[in-house]
Amino acid sequence: MLIIHRPHRDDWSYPKGKVDPGETELECALREVKEETGMEGKLGDELPLVTYRDHRDRSKSVRYWLLKYKQGNFKPNDEVDEIAWVSPSKAADILTYRHDIELLDYL
């Protein structure tokens, strides 16, 4: 599986982002993965909704889908400076946030 390092937060997480006006959540998922990692894929099953409180104590809800890699190559950028292809057990050791680790149970 693919996880990303975000230098502005110094954390390891999954690709994600906010929906642009006129965009569906599925379109957003594909766009954010491509923007952050340079990779494209085919959407698979949706994972359970993730909810948590952010560093400013705001409630957040994030939808994730499985994505099967099709093409593309990573180039470091402002949002993501490093990626790692890891097993779910290795991801549990690397991911920064508990809510991300808990999502591994569904893989």
Domains by residue range for the chain, with CATH: 2-106 (3.90.79.10)
pTM of the predicted model as reported, rounded to 2 decimal places: 0.93
Edge-to-edge strand list for the sheet holding 2-6: 11-13, 2-6, 82-85
Chain centre to alpha carbon of residue 32: 8
Place of tokens 């946030």: 97
Structural contact between residues 64 and 50, judged by C-beta atoms closer than 8 angstroms: yes
pLDDT in tens, the chain (107 residues): 999 999 999 999 999 999 999 999 999 999 999 999 999 999 999 999 999 998 899 999 999 999 999 999 999 999 999 999 999 999 999 999 999 999 999 88
